Amino acid sequence: MRAQTMTQLVAAARRAFAAQGYAGSAMDAICADAGVTRGALYHHFGGKEGLLEAVVLQIDAEIAARLDAEEKRHADPWDGFRASCLLWLQQARDPEIQRVYLRDASSVLGQRMREMDQQKWIIELRDVLATLMQAGRIRQADPDAMAQLINGALVDAALWIAASSDQAATLERAMTAANVLLDGLEHHGPISS
């Protein structure tokens, strides 16, 4: 029953946050949509902010699954990494990702969102970059620093795309620039043993 209540609350909150944004979503309406009491929301999530974090984690997992699937579609790990970076930028055109994940999560969760990024995306990026460096596919650099820079560039570009009045054109510009940046990482010399 507990898991079902939590699932219902997250689903209702996700619908509300995507449609009205975090600020415009009333807890009573979310609880009514989920068919639970306000006490259940407080019991399971501590409040509206905790519910937003649960929604963000759910969206985050879905994005990660799409990026992982894209990466695995490519036999060459470098091509997969590049494709997943570009797919991340394309995600910025999704209205739910724009509103809930890029805008509301950053402004409401603030430092907590940054910690979530550090715990998941930065570590994954660092590990992929380190593997690509070890294989001689990309130039040598500090993988932690490179992960911070790439993540920052991709997140800022996604925010730029989401805020644009011509998202298709801005996405195209961002993808072109991302390819130039990624080209700079690629190792073109002989691989040393």
C-alpha distances out from residue 71 to 67, 81, 87, Å: 6, 6, 10
Q: Which domains does the chain have, with CATH numbers?
A: 52-185 (1.10.357.10)
pLDDT of residue 189: 60
pLDDT of residue 113: 83
* Mean pLDDT, each 10-residue run in order, the chain (193 residues): 89 96 95 93 93 95 95 95 96 94 90 81 94 95 95 94 96 97 82 47
Say if residues 63 and 74 touch (Cβ distance below 8 Å).
Answer: no
- Model confidence pLDDT, tens digit, residues 67-77: 999 999 999 99
- Give the pTM: 0.88
C-alpha distances out from residue 94 to 16, 19, 124, 153, 158, Å: 16, 13, 23, 19, 10
Q: What is the DSSP string of 153-166?
A: HHHHHHHHHHH-SS
Q: What is the DSSP string of 50-104?
A: HHHHHHHHHHHHHHHHHHHHHHHT-SSHHHHHHHHHHHHHHHTT-HHIIIIIIII
- Burial letters for 140-154: b for 16+ Cβ neighbours within 10 Å, e otherwise? eeebeebbbebbebb
- Model confidence pLDDT, tens digit, residues 4-36: 999 999 999 999 999 999 999 999 999 999 999
pLDDT of residue 193: 43
Cα–Cα dist 65/91, whole Å: 12
Assigned token pair, 134: 């070890």
pLDDT of residue 190: 54
